[in-house]
A and B are shown apart, each in its own frame.
Chain A
């Protein structure tokens, strides 16, 4: 990993289109400004990891699960209809 020391208002170029600048530093809190072309997506890493982990959880679904889910749905709808009548 390349490690560069920077001060507030200094920046780093990644290629010739992406600029990462240090906007502010307060204790362990760093504000970073990123200028990048629209086709480069910038996200906090936690967002990526959360989605990745959720996908890994989701594939654990049991193969015969859908009829049970579908029934839950129907029951819920029925209950709502009954509530409506009351």
Chain B
């Protein structure tokens, strides 16, 4: 399957990389199909729209800089994308990258959750007010490492 990607131009992707977002992503409700491009450069991923090449999100696994991150969403919300048990959950945070790269932030209030087996996803809203739309990845990574030293 060929996809035109913002990061790498036209590329060949596996059918299994295709993810269906029945409700789209907030602000981009009309775009329902994405591909998850993993990561030659960990821990980052691209979530690339299959319909509009310019629409692509950088994702990170929140556990990389916040191992205490807890997905706080209702059972109903998980069932909406067919998730019945926790092993099916794949969770990412969207990264916002300003000009000063080290000030990049991750959105932990609106995580992207994907059903690993059916590859259906949604953007959820974390109900715990502790998690904000902008968490400084580098700062929180630094304080995490200090704690573990």
A residues near B (Cβ < 8 Å) are 38-39, 41, 43, 47-48, 50-70, 72-73, 76-77, 80, 83-84
Q: Could you list 15 A-B pairs, sorted by A, with CB under 8 Å?
A: A51-B26, A51-B27, A51-B107, A54-B94, A55-B26, A55-B27, A55-B94, A58-B57, A58-B94, A59-B57, A62-B97, A69-B44, A69-B101, A73-B141, A83-B149
Residues of B contacting A65 with CB < 8 Å?
58, 97, 101
Q: How many Å from the CB of B132 to the closest CB on chain A?
A: 8
Chain B interface size, under 10 / 10 to 19 / 20 to 34 / 35 or more: 35 or more
Residues of A contacting B138 with CB < 8 Å?
72, 76
Instruction: Report Cα–Cα, A70/B41, bound state, in Å.
Output: 6
Residues of A contacting B101 with CB < 8 Å?
65, 68-69, 72
Q: What number of residue pairs across chains A and B have CB atoms under 8 A from each other?
A: 104
Residues of A contacting B97 with CB < 8 Å?
58, 60-62, 65, 69
Question: What 9 A-B pairs are tightest by C-beta distance, nearest first?
Answer: A70-B41, A51-B110, A52-B27, A80-B145, A54-B133, A55-B27, A52-B26, A58-B96, A63-B7
Contact A61 B41 (CB under 8 A): no
Contact B95 A55 (CB under 8 A): no
Q: B48-72 vs A: 1/0 string, CB under 8 Å?
A: 0000001111100000000000000
Contact A73 B43 (CB under 8 A): yes
Residues of A contacting B95 with CB < 8 Å?
58, 61, 69
Instruction: Report Cα–Cα, A72/B142, bound state, in Å.
Output: 12
Question: Given A47, A63, A69, A80, which contacts B104 in the complex, CB threshold below 8 Å?
Answer: A69
Residue from B43, B46, B133, B134 having most chain A Cβ neighbours under 10 A: B133
Contact B74 A66 (CB under 8 A): no
Question: Given B7, B26, B27, which contacts A66 in the complex, CB threshold below 8 Å?
Answer: B7
Residues of A contacting B6 with CB < 8 Å?
63
Q: How many Å from the CB of B27 to the closest CB on chain A?
A: 4
Q: How many Å from the CB of B20 to the closest CB on chain A?
A: 18
